[in-house]
Amino acid sequence: MELLNQLKWRYATKRFDTSRKLDADQVNSLLEAANLAPSSFGIQPFALALVESDEMKSKLSPAAFNQPQVTEASHLFILAVRTDVSEQDVDQFVDRIVKTREITREEVADYEAAMKGSINKRSATERFNWAARQAYIALGTLLSAAAIQNIDACPMEGFSNEQFDEILGLKEKGFTSIAMAAVGYRSPQDAYQHHKKVRKSLNEFVMKF
């Protein structure tokens, strides 16, 4: 199966070939894949910050402990979560439903009420954690989409969220960074590409009932 072969091929790339860049179609395909990832209710309480310029990568590098992936990768895909998910997010989602499906708001009134009820019963911390879990689904989808296209990627949490937020101006937009994927093409000098993938056996991994 092609997908399994590509998942076996991929690894968390540590060094990228700075001479190779993704083209616009490749970037857009990854953005589309992340955008198509499932999320609870479909609300998508997160966004994606795309970093293309070398200047911005250099600014972010110290906040990521100068890990080489940040400046060597072709692009950085940074997952940013809504800091305070509220009924307004539901309202915007319902607006999109009504417009896309060409229906009336009354037709989804019960669904709207259920979504708002689910959000309002959670504390601010619970809403944030819920939103973050949705963002990680998008990150996984993006990584799989990259692998299918023979594009290398490295999922990363090792950076200062506060500094990233300040540099990218995310706080003012109501978001905070939680994770990112450095994306591009592996460097021939990256020794990690030659390491055998280490995973549990399926007997260890799967609990059958």
**What is the CATH classification number for the domain harbouring 41?**
3.40.109.10
- The amino acid that residue 18 corresponds to is T
User: Is the model's pLDDT at 123 over the cut of 80?
Assistant: yes
State the total domains in the chain.
Answer: 1
Q: In this predicted model, what pLDDT tens digit does every residue of 47-88 receive, in sequence order?
A: 999 999 999 999 999 999 999 999 999 999 999 999 999 999
DSSP 196: P
Percent of the chain whose pLDDT exceeds 90: 100
- Mean pLDDT on 83-108: 97
Closest CA to 76 of 177, 194, 144: 177
User: Is the model's pLDDT at 107 over the cut of 90?
Assistant: yes
pLDDT of residue 1: 75
* β-pair type (46-51, 75-82): antiparallel
pLDDT of residue 104: 98
Task: Give residue 24's domain range.
Answer: 2-205
For the record, the structure tokens of 187 come out as 């460097």
What is the model's pTM?
Answer: 0.96
Q: In this predicted model, what pLDDT tens digit does every residue of 110-121 receive, in sequence order?
A: 999 999 999 999
User: Is the model's pLDDT at 35 over the cut of 80?
Assistant: yes
String of b and e for 62-74 (b: at least 16 CB within 10 Å)? Answer: ebbeeebbbbbbb
Q: Where are the alpha helices (DSSP H) in the chain?
A: 2-9, 24-35, 54-60, 68-72, 87-101, 109-120, 124-148, 161-168, 202-205
- The amino acid that residue 110 corresponds to is D
- Mean pLDDT on 34-59: 98
Q: In this predicted model, what pLDDT tens digit does every residue of 173-205 receive, in sequence order?
A: 999 999 999 999 999 999 999 999 999 999 999
Q: Determine whether 207 is exposed, middle or buried from the number of CB atoms within 10 Å of its CB (0-12, 13-18, 19+).
A: exposed
